[in-house]
Amino acid sequence: MRVAFRLQVRPELLDEYRRVHSPVRREMLETIAASGRRNYSLFLDETDGSLFGYYEVDDDAAAQASLAASPVAAAWESEMSRFFVSLSARADQAARRLPEVFNLSDQLEGAAE
């Protein structure tokens, strides 16, 4: 499953947000990988603070549960919360999910049939 999401980074914290992600602490990277998420990327529009994220996962509910149970992820989410505009929960739970409207591989596979 492919998952895309959007968050809004506070404009005054863009530079610091980039710094804390370059690099992310090894224990957090390992926690994300252990949850089952892979091909995880974040893209930042520096003109307005829009943050687009993408990852692939076999079972997103299980990945969410794994991260929710992790003290490492909890500490990271607590640190990161100040960077985002209007969060009602942890960033990984409050992010606006984006529906997929096009995928090249899927359409090429469908056209071949």
Q: Which residues have a catalytic role annotated?
A: 21
Q: Inter-axis angle of helices 71-80 and 60-68, to 10 degrees? A: 90
Instruction: Name the token pair of 94.
Output: 């409050």
Instruction: Name the token pair of 106.
Output: 């899927």
Instruction: Name the token pair of 67.
Output: 């991260």
C-alpha 40/C-alpha 4 separation (Å) is 10
Asked whether the beta carbons of 77 and 31 are under 8 A apart, the reply is: no
Query: What residue type is assigned to position 69 of the chain?
Result: A
